[in-house]
Structure 1
Amino acid sequence: MNDTWGYNKYDNNWKKPDDIIRFLLKINSRGGNYLLNVGPDSNGRIPEGSTQVLDQVGKYIRENSEAIFDTKRVDIYAYELEWAQFTRKDYKLYIHMLQPKIRIELLNVGNHVKRAYLVKDKTELPYKIMKACEGNSIIEVQLPEYLYDQKNYCVCLEMEEKEPIFEPIEG
């Protein structure tokens, strides 16, 4: 969780919880497993820096466990999103929000959405399914105002289709 493989009392360059969450989700969405090294000191204690990071990562996992455990590999989405990562289950696409936004806009996702909600508390979210003038599909989810400056939460799109439909980029 820092720059060494094992305990080093001089290495306090701890990974940021946001980075560990991003890596966890990226690896999970590709069907992999994340091996995270936590090196105890000579007395078998986990360093305070590790526990602080793991507490924040654990909070994210607890609140969004539905979108992390027993998920399936996500097909390649045409856009690399800095602000989000996807995971999925049958009939559900999870959007893990890693940066603040006032709305989610997913281009070239051709699914029929039945419902959108926050994973941690099941709050229903308004959404629209649209077409751009070029014919590209757009799914737009409006986020509540209290989330505009928040990060590290997850939104679920319940879909009529079993898997996400990622349309190719035209042009």
Structure 2
Amino acid sequence: MTRPARLVLDRAPSPIGELLIVTDEAGVLRAVDFHDYEHRLQRLLRLHYGALPLETGAAPGEIKAAFARYFGGALDALSALTWDTGGTSFQRSVWRALCEIRPGETLTYSQLARRVERPAAIRAVGAANGANPLSLVAPCHRVIGMGGALTGYGGGLERKRWLLTHEGAL
């Protein structure tokens, strides 16, 4: 992870609530969350970047356009975004593995643990999934419980259901 000099917060509409988009001074995506979870976003940013202030500003147009294309039906639009974030090396390995789950696909936590070559670390994978600062981009909504159960999602189960339906997984 490269430590940013600045963090910039922008907002964008979506069919499931306003998005909070955090980029750095180079326009690299650092975090994405929903407006009703801004407190969690602030907490994660402090955890990852310390006391670095969050400034209001504009995200690069290509980032906002990618989100608009995703919600418009181009389900792979977010996969091309460049991102960097804090977190432990284990967490970042889980978040990279999330990016390998294609739209319309789902994995269980145990399958994800095997993908990161830590098959016994199912709970740790779940915790890393829950600490994911890149909602939608590192698509943690594609991780489900055993038997297909829709288990926790930081944006709420209603959004998880909507996203999986949007992507054709439900």
Normalised by the shorter chain, which TM-score bucket?
under 0.3
Greater share of residues in strand? 1
**What TM-score results when the alignment is normalised by the length of structure 1?**
0.24
**What TM-score results when the alignment is normalised by the length of structure 2?**
0.24
